[in-house]
Amino acid sequence: MAETPTKPKFKLPSVAELKEGQIWKSIFRHKLDETPRNRSLAVLSNVFLHLHPAKINRDAVRYNYTWGMGGITFYLFLVLTITGVLLMFYYHPSKGQAYRDIMYIMHDVPFGNFTRNMHRWAAHSMIITTWLHMFRVFLTGSYKPPREFNWNIGVLLLLFTMLLSFTGYLLPDDQLGFWAVTVGTNMARATPVLGSEGPFGPQMGITAFNDVRFALLGGSIVDANALLRAYIWHCVAIPIIASVLMIVHFWRIRKDGAISGPAPVMIEQDLSGPVAKKA
Amino acid sequence: MDWHQLMTITTAPDNVPIVIMLFLMPFYTWYGLKQSFANDRLIEKLEADPELAKTHHRKTQPWVKGWDSTVHVWPYLLKIEFLAAIIVTLILVVWSIFLDAPLEEPANPNLTMNPSKAPWYFLGLQEMLVYFDPWIAGVVLPGIILGGLMAIPYIDVNPRGNGYYTYKQRKFSIWMFFIGFLVLWLVLIVVGTFIRGPGWMWFWPGETWDHHRIVHELNRNLHEFFGIKDSEVMKAAGFGATVIGAYFAVGGFACDRLFRKFAPEMVKKQNVAQYATTIALTVMMFGLPIKMLLRLGFTVKYVMVTPWFNI
């Protein structure tokens, strides 16, 4: 009887062998060795990381220049997106049910209270970091040419960050949110020309049923329609608008010469010398 | 001194961020100014020694000849970003475990909260409602704040201080920003959070909130101080318009004098539109504390009263 060839025994591949395999190579296009080429590729060949340039001003990585506030603001936005999506699974934006859903999230949903708390505190933190980011950009004069336009995008992002937080305030449908939004939207009633109680509003035929406040609330009182509108602005519309603005904001950072510094200081002699004439 | 009242306000979960900000803002102001002054000293040294300026790397950060001026993002920046993400997450996790987000009773339109406060970051605007009608405090002023912020890069013609901290080279813009942001915006928020109580009345920190307090305040319109009655509509409106016009004229003139004295280079470099915008924004910004002073110090209600709107 001839000997039948035995099948080779199956053996788990080692990590080193995996790294040579087709699956690994299809995902990772480069090695992670400490060579300048690989270090650049790590950033450039990654869709998320290529937001960054391959190299950066050596002093810009110091915490004391940027305070890291822009990056932290973006990170908080991501935290808010994740916790917000989790909360959306348990929330109905309808009068009566909304409050019960919050109670349900707080008391019955696994980690529901934790998720809600984190969403709340990350939202407050994001307001603070946005302000600190603006403060830093002002102090370092980073809005100066060529970054004027990006500063404007940043001001809009500041506005939308605060609107995001404000629209979220109503969603628990409790006394706190209800009265905060009542106070807030009552001001819209006083918009000049477009508000029913604003200067020249009544003269233009504006009433409580066709003014700016009516458009914001979907009615003349803070009720079911207002809750639904706040929900859609908070969970869909403003995040989309803010995301578009963020895309522009980050893109312009790169296009305007990456992070602004720390730049070499200018002295008075520069302003009268050849450097000034070039600028 | 009602410590319990003070504790109730400062430890309200939604007020924790503003308490944190009370520490963060002074810290970062100091942190930014410290680097500004360090750069200012370097600038002075280089200006006194032009030869050194030619070879100096012109930063306060350490520098050794032969160092690369750039570093790889991976790992030098990304490791910091990942670390920052971890630290922020850690803070949020601890914060979320130990402090619950507030939830009040279900919304009830028949039961008004007193005081009924907006979220803390809007309390500056809500505090402005004391001094101005809603169309100004809630619509026009926020619009001017946003518009003014957006105008900054286009009216600041100073080429210095682009990308580095400095105080000496940008005194004017830094002072304006500090007054607008640190003094007006943040102080109004602090007043709205810690001082305003039931009925939006003034309670000093540590003073017990008296829900039955009645203030016999007699706020009068400015024209009444000058013998013009409310019933004399056109006369009152004309008087008010004159006062507002005079404020802008005198304020604008004063700004013009001061700018020429303290920021002569800015005046020389700005074109007419830039200069007019700078003056208009300055005059309007100082209009807020002036109206606050008129209201709190002299019980003035409106400066200008018309049948359609009041200022």
Rounded Cα distance, B117 and A134, in Å: 25
Q: How confident is the model at residue B174 (pLDDT cuts 50, 70, 90)?
A: very high
Tokens, residue B260? 């020429």
Q: Nearest residue of A to residue B67 by CA position?
A: A58
Q: How far is CA B173 from the centre of its chain?
A: 14
Query: How far apart are the CA of B21 and the nearest CA of chain A, in angstroms?
Result: 7
Q: What is the mean pLDDT of chain B?
A: 89
Q: In terms of pLDDT, which residue wins out, A192 or A1?
A: A192
Is the backbone peptide bond immediately before B50 cis, with ω within 30 degrees of 0? no
For the stretch B250-285, pLDDT in tens is 999 999 999 999 888 888 889 999 999 999 999 999
Q: Nearest residue of A to residue B135 by CA position?
A: A190
Rounded Cα distance, B92 and B201, in Å: 34
Chain A positions in Cβ-Cβ contact with residue B102 (cut-off 8 Å): 176
Interchain CB contacts (distance < 8 Å): A and B: 288
Q: How confident is the model at residue A279 (pLDDT cuts 50, 70, 90)?
A: very low
* pLDDT value, residue A202: 82
CB neighbours of residue A246 within 10 Å: 17
Q: Does position A193 have pLDDT exceeding 70, yes or no?
A: yes
Of residues B203, B188, B183, the one with CA closest to residue B6 = B203
Q: What is the mean pLDDT of chain A?
A: 89
Q: Does position A275 have pLDDT exceeding 70, yes or no?
A: no
Chain A positions in Cβ-Cβ contact with residue B103 (cut-off 8 Å): 102-103, 106, 172, 174, 176
Domains, chain A, ordered by start:
67-255 (1.20.810.10)
Tokens, residue B309? 């709107």
Q: How confident is the model at residue A3 (pLDDT cuts 50, 70, 90)?
A: low
Residues 6+ apart with CB under 8 A from B278: B155, B255, B259, B266, B270
Contact criterion met (CB below 8 Å) for B44 and B132? no
Tokens, residue B88? 């922020």
For the stretch A88-132, pLDDT in tens is 999 999 998 999 999 999 999 999 999 999 999 999 999 999 999
For the stretch B56-103, pLDDT in tens is 888 888 888 888 888 999 889 999 999 999 999 999 999 999 999 989
* pLDDT value, residue B37: 95
Q: In terms of pLDDT, which residue wins out, B35 or B7?
A: B35
Query: How far apart are the CA of B261 and the nearest CA of chain A, in angstroms?
Result: 19
Q: Do B101 and A117 touch (CB under 8 A)?
A: yes
Rounded Cα distance, B309 and B286, in Å: 21
Of residues B17, B187, B13, B194, the one with CA closest to residue A123 = B17
Q: How confident is the model at residue A228 (pLDDT cuts 50, 70, 90)?
A: very high
A74-88 average pLDDT score: 97
Backbone CA torsion sign across A149, A152, A156, A158: positive
Query: Coil, strand, or helix at residue B238?
Result: helix
Tokens, residue B274? 């830039």
Residues 6+ apart with CB under 8 A from A87: A105, A115, A116, A119
Query: Coil, strand, or helix at residue B196?
Result: strand
Rounded Cα distance, A97 and A75, in Å: 31
* pLDDT value, residue A43: 87
* Most confident stretch, A66-70, A243-247, B47-51, B292-296: A243-247
Q: How confident is the model at residue B143 (pLDDT cuts 50, 70, 90)?
A: very high
ipTM of the complex: 0.92
Q: Does position B298 have pLDDT exceeding 90, yes or no?
A: no
Rounded Cα distance, B230 and B192, in Å: 31
Query: Coil, strand, or helix at residue B155?
Result: helix
Q: How confident is the model at residue B9 (pLDDT cuts 50, 70, 90)?
A: confident
Partner-chain residue, chosen from A42, A61, A135, that has the shortest CB–CB distance to B80: A61
* pLDDT value, residue B251: 93
Query: How far apart are the CA of B229 and the nearest CA of chain A, in angstroms?
Result: 22
Chain B positions in Cβ-Cβ contact with residue A189 (cut-off 8 Å): 134
* pLDDT value, residue A2: 63
CB neighbours of residue A239 within 10 Å: 18
User: Of A88-92, A142-146, B34-38, B65-69, where does mean pLDDT reach its minimum?
Assistant: B65-69
Query: How far apart are the CA of A8 and the nearest CA of chain B, in angstroms?
Result: 42
Rounded Cα distance, B292 and B184, in Å: 11
Rounded Cα distance, B141 and B124, in Å: 11
Report pTM.
Answer: 0.91
The full 3-state SS of chain A, as one line of letters, equals CCCCCCCCCCCCCCHHHHCCCHHHHHHCCCCCCCCHHHHHHHHHCCCCHHHCCCEEEHHHHCHHHHCCHHHHHHHHHHHHHHHHHHHHCCCCCCCCHHHHHHHHHHHCCCCHHHHHHHHHHHHHHHHHHHHHHHHHHHHCCCCCCCCHHHHHHHHHHHHHHHHHHHHHHHCCCEHHHHHHHHHHHHHHCCCCCCCCCCCCCHHHCCCCCCCHHHHHHCCCCCCHHHHHHHHHHHHHHHHHHHHHHHHHHHHHHHHCCCCCCCCCCCCHHHHHCHHHHHC
Element (H, E) at B88: helix B78-98
Chain B positions in Cβ-Cβ contact with residue A190 (cut-off 8 Å): 133-135, 138-139
Rounded Cα distance, B126 and B134, in Å: 9
Query: How far apart are the CA of B1 and the nearest CA of chain A, in angstroms?
Result: 27
Partner-chain residue, chosen from B108, B137, B153, that has the shortest CB–CB distance to A175: B108
Q: Does position A277 have pLDDT exceeding 70, yes or no?
A: no
Q: In terms of pLDDT, which residue wins out, A45 or A73?
A: A73
Chain A positions in Cβ-Cβ contact with residue B125 (cut-off 8 Å): 187
B280-305 average pLDDT score: 88
* pLDDT value, residue A197: 82
For the stretch B182-234, pLDDT in tens is 889 998 999 988 888 888 888 888 888 888 887 777 788 888 888 888 888 88
Rounded Cα distance, B281 and B262, in Å: 17
Rounded Cα distance, B165 and A266, in Å: 11
A156-165 average pLDDT score: 95
User: Of A68-72, A146-150, B121-125, where does mean pLDDT reach its minimum?
Assistant: B121-125
Contact criterion met (CB below 8 Å) for A154 and A122? no
B11-32 average pLDDT score: 90
* pLDDT value, residue A273: 60
Cross-strand bridge partners of residue B310: B305
Residue B11 dihedral angles phi and psi, to the nearest 5° = -100, 5
Query: Coil, strand, or helix at residue B71?
Result: strand
Residue spans of alpha helices (H) in B11-76 = 16-48, 50-55, 73-76
